[in-house]
Structure 1
Amino acid sequence: MARIHFENHPEFPYHITARCINRDWFGEDPSEIWKIMSRQLYFVNFAFNLKIHAFVLMGNHYHLIARSPDANLSQAIGYFNRETSREITGISGRINQTYGSRFHRSLIGSPLYYLHAYKYLYRNPVEAGLCLNVEDYPYSSIQGLLGNSWLDIPVCEDDNWGNFANREQTLSWLNRAPIPEHWDLVRKALKKKEFKLSKINREESSLEFNAL
């Protein structure tokens, strides 16, 4: 069966994720995996003009929000996955490829949907029980945005962190746990090719009007 053609919308960001083959871990030392991915994201930012909004590395997958003004998202992420796979395979001693399949992307078509995806990305380590607050997780671009550590990933300017007041408000919002039903709605919406919230009892969710 022929692969369905992907139409890139350069004006909108995408939530992108890829998972390690057989749900294995990327490697024993996450700091080394973080260095590899940071270096390759730095490269694709300049080589493919990929605009990176946020990135989180988990134990066996990653979450990325990015936009491709040159409509070359497939090429950029394809290169990123190929090169990170090659490097990770080399240091981990894995015989097989690193990723289990092609990456998944979900078009984020509105500013409110962007906030849902943004919070979902940064809260992933918290919801997985790896930390108490989003700023505590070391393998996240939020560390650099807050000035807590050096960040090699060239993240786009972000109005959520524009000044001290914005910073405090954004952190408070990110660290406020959503109700499980809302978290699950966003999780399922991000599995679709275009982010879309399911209705609840044939009615629109409050997430159509308020951020997660």
Structure 2
Amino acid sequence: MARINRKWDPNYFDHVVMRGNNRQHIFSNRMDIAVLFHTLNYANTKHPFTVIAYCIMNNHFHLLIRSPEVPLGKVMGLINKQYSNYYRKKYNYTGYLYESRYFARMVPDPIALLSVSAYIHQNPVATKKPMVKRMENYPYSSFRLYHRNIESPYPFLDLTVLPSLLPEPYDTTRNGYTKFCEDFQHNEKIKKYIKATSLNH
């Protein structure tokens, strides 16, 4: 049976998740993660896109991404192929690297964008055994950049969008955004989102 084409709207962000097959590790060290970012940079030169939140875990990664020029599937296909080729060569790996096609859900409005980004950034502290005590201590998440007010190190990463969407009483600044994420850490909306998308660990 042919695959059903995913919905794509160039005006909306999508929450994308890519998992390792059988939840195996697809990132073993800093070099692997550096190669993923190199791959993202390369893909962005071919099909420009914008990411406003990311988190790279051992066996999966999250992107909050908008592809304005080509269907998102074309962007993700290039990213996944490039990284898979690297991984197979480096680790002499055969078989399927990824669990299945990437998960993607369109995010419909500003509050949903803020909520999904908070969920993405909470991954390292939401595992059964937290990887870090605080979100800003995890080195492979964009939350650290927001929290420390670091300029974007990647041409595809825009750190201005999420703060600009904050509702009152939050300031529309990076400090306001990090406070929003911290307030949402134990919020029921996040728990419902995790349950609905089966992304819990």
Specify the code of the residue in structure 2 equivalent to 1:154.
F
- Give yes or no for contact 1:143–1:151 (8 Å, CA) kept in 2: no
Aligned residues: 190
Percentage identity across aligned positions? 23
For 2:76, the equivalent position in structure 1 comes to 77
For 1:206, the equivalent position in structure 2 comes to none
Please give the secondary structure, in 1, of the residue aligned with 2:68: coil
For 1:43, the equivalent position in structure 2 comes to 42
- Structure 2, gaps ≥5 residues long: 165-170
Which among 155, 158, 168 is matched to residue 156 of structure 1? Answer: 158
- Give yes or no for contact 2:13–2:66 (8 Å, CA) kept in 1: yes
Alignment of structure 1 residues 11-90 onto 2, 5 Å: 11-29=11-29, 31-90=30-89
Between stretches 6-15 and 151-160, larger displacement belongs to: 151-160
- Structure 1, gaps ≥5 residues long: 193-212
Please give the secondary structure, in 2, of the residue aligned with 1:107: strand
Which among 171, 195, 198 is matched to residue 188 of structure 1? Answer: 195
TM-fit CA distance, 1:190: 4.1
How far does the alpha carbon of each residue in 1:25-61 deviate from its partner, in whole angstroms, 9 at most, with x for none? Answer: 11432x1121011111112222111111111101100
Q: Distance in 2 between matches of 1:180 and 1:142?
A: 18
Query: Using a 3 Å threshold, how does the CA distance of structure 1 residues 127 and 5 change in structure 2: closer, same or farther?
Result: same
TM-fit CA distance, 1:165: 7.5
Q: Distance in 1 between matches of 2:144 and 2:156?
A: 13
For 2:100, the equivalent position in structure 1 comes to 101
Task: Provide TM-score, normalisation by structure 2.
Answer: 0.83
For 1:5, the equivalent position in structure 2 comes to 5
TM-fit CA distance, 1:155: 0.4
- Give yes or no for contact 2:27–2:33 (8 Å, CA) kept in 1: no
- Given the alignment of the two structures, is residue 179 of structure 1 paired with residue 151 of structure 2, yes or no? no
How far does the alpha carbon of each residue in 1:173-210 deviate from its partner, in whole angstroms, 9 at most, with x for none? Answer: 22235436433211134469xxxxxxxxxxxxxxxxxx
Query: Using a 3 Å threshold, how does the CA distance of structure 1 residues 84 and 4 change in structure 2: closer, same or farther?
Result: same
Runs of 4+ in 1 over 6 A off after TM superposition: none
Please give the secondary structure, in 1, of the residue aligned with 2:194: helix
Please give the secondary structure, in 1, of the residue aligned with 2:173: helix
TM-fit CA distance, 1:62: 0.4
For 2:141, the equivalent position in structure 1 comes to 140
Q: Distance in 2 between matches of 1:160 and 1:24?
A: 31
Q: Distance in 2 between matches of 1:70 and 1:149?
A: 25
Query: Using a 3 Å threshold, how does the CA distance of structure 1 residues 5 and 26 change in structure 2: closer, same or farther?
Result: closer
Query: Using a 3 Å threshold, how does the CA distance of structure 1 residues 94 and 104 change in structure 2: closer, same or farther?
Result: same
Q: Distance in 1 between matches of 2:104 and 2:198?
A: 8
- CA RMSD across the alignment: 2.5
Please give the secondary structure, in 2, of the residue aligned with 1:52: strand
Between stretches 170-179 and 43-52, larger displacement belongs to: 170-179
Specify the code of the residue in structure 2 equivalent to 1:33.
D
How far does the alpha carbon of each residue in 1:59-83 deviate from its partner, in whole angstroms, 9 at most, with x for none? Answer: 1000001011113210100110111
Q: Distance in 1 between matches of 2:97 and 2:153?
A: 24
